[in-house]
Amino acid sequence: LRKNVEDFTGPRERSDLGFVTFDITADILNGKNASKNKTRLFKYNMVFFLTRIHLQSIFDWNVKQLFLYLSAEYSTKNNALNQVVLWDKIMLRGDNPRLILKDMKSKYFFFDDGNGLKGNRNVTLTLSWNVVPNAGILPLVTGSGHVSVPFPDTYETTKSY
Amino acid sequence: LYYQVLNFAMIVSSALMIWKGLIVVTGSESPIVVVLSGSMEPAFHRGDLLFLTNFHDDPIRAGEIVVFKVEGRDIPIVHRVIKIHEKENGNIKFLTKGDNNEVDDRGLYKEGQNWLEKKDVVGRARGFLPYVGMVTIIMNDYPKFKYALLAVMGAYVLLKRES
């Protein structure tokens, strides 16, 4: 879904606002499996999709927390590269490693800088995470696999806001 | 005494060389910063030390932790990039938010400023050490402590006897 409304969070011109709802299932295995494969399964169905991620042994002795975030990446006429974080979550060491979230709304407004979401077929959603150690290097890892969310060519008329 | 003074000068200039060398190697004017607020908890707490790099060709991407200064203010802020809009020529404007904050940083930017640019960035957080920066915060809040520490260090070096 996409609407064109005044961007009330920042610049006061009309920009495209996108709405995406999604499901996330993350399975973090503190496994003995030595395989380094990260597999992701996506099923894109209407307005939601299911993410299943297997993160092998990410939580080792030096990991304090993971900062997970879902970002949408796309190109528009105005800007060659846009990345917008739609949702994030802090996962502390010791938290339930299986994450099953259904029908989530994006946490942050998906405003484009301009009107580039209209008819944009190539909006890609990827899940990434920042590993925060007890001490040491801060790596940023992007999960393999992604989902494409094509936006329609017409604006949604606002029924109730 | 001449030797002691020379000894002291050597120590000071070596420290300066290492610091300046670090600035060149990382490309950042301030390669080591101390976290001053709790806006990035529970990842970083007040008093943690961060190591930064600021290579010109390093792209700014969503999710990265950047340290930036708002135009006109001297305080570096450590937050995460949540939105970027980059043009083909490399011009980029981006928005940041502290993990522990409810809203994005637009309230912290200059009046009328809605985005940050590359020039506002001091560096990208690459590594971190917990608690170690507390010393700097104590020295800032209690300047007498800072002078006392410097006096002790100076006295130690000057009075140290080589056997």
CB A92 within 8 A of CB B42: yes
Evaluate whether residue A159 is within a structural domain.
no
User: For chain A, what is the domain count?
Assistant: 1
8-state DSSP, A77: S
Query: What residue numbers bound the domain in which A134 lies?
Result: 17-149
**What residues form DSSP beta bridges with A88?**
A69
Q: What is the pLDDT of residues A111-149, one digit of tens each?
A: 667 666 666 777 777 777 787 888 788 777 666 556 666
Evaluate whether residue A121 is within a structural domain.
yes
Q: Which of B79, B104, B120, B141 is catalytic?
A: B79
Q: One-letter amino acid identity for A88?
A: D
Evaluate whether residue A158 is within a structural domain.
no
Q: Each residue's pLDDT tens digit in chain A (161 positions)?
A: 444 443 444 444 444 555 555 545 444 333 222 222 222 222 222 233 334 444 445 667 777 888 888 888 888 887 888 888 888 888 777 666 655 565 566 677 666 676 666 667 777 777 777 878 887 887 776 665 566 666 666 555 444 44
Nearest CA in chain B to A11: B114
CB A131 within 8 A of CB A63: yes
Q: Is B63 on the interface with A (CB under 8 A)?
A: yes
Instruction: Please tell me whether the peptide bond between B130 and the residue prior to it is cis, using omega within 30 degrees of 0.
Output: no
Q: Is B45 on the interface with A (CB under 8 A)?
A: no
List CB contacts (< 8 A) between B125 and chain A: 138
B56 included as an active-site residue: no
- Whether B42 has a pLDDT exceeding 70, the answer reads yes
CB A152 within 8 A of CB A119: yes
Can you say whether residue B5 is alpha, beta or left, with left for phi > 0 and alpha for psi between -120 and 50 degrees? Answer: alpha
CB A26 within 8 A of CB A88: no
Q: What is the pLDDT of residues B60-119, one digit of tens each?
A: 888 888 888 888 888 888 899 988 888 888 888 898 998 888 888 888 888 878 888 888
Q: Is the ipTM of this complex over 0.90?
A: no
- Within 128-147 of A, beta carbons closer than 8 Å to B belong to 128, 130, 132-138, 140
Level-2 CATH architecture, domain B1-129: Ribbon (2.10)
B39 included as an active-site residue: yes
B45 included as an active-site residue: no
Helical spans, DSSP H, in chain A: none
Q: Which of B28, B48, B105, B120 is catalytic?
A: B105
> Residue A51: what pLDDT?
43
Does the global pTM surpass 0.80? no
Strands A147-149 and B49-53: unpaired
Rounded to a whole number of angstroms, the distance from the CA of B118 to the nearest CA of chain A is: 15
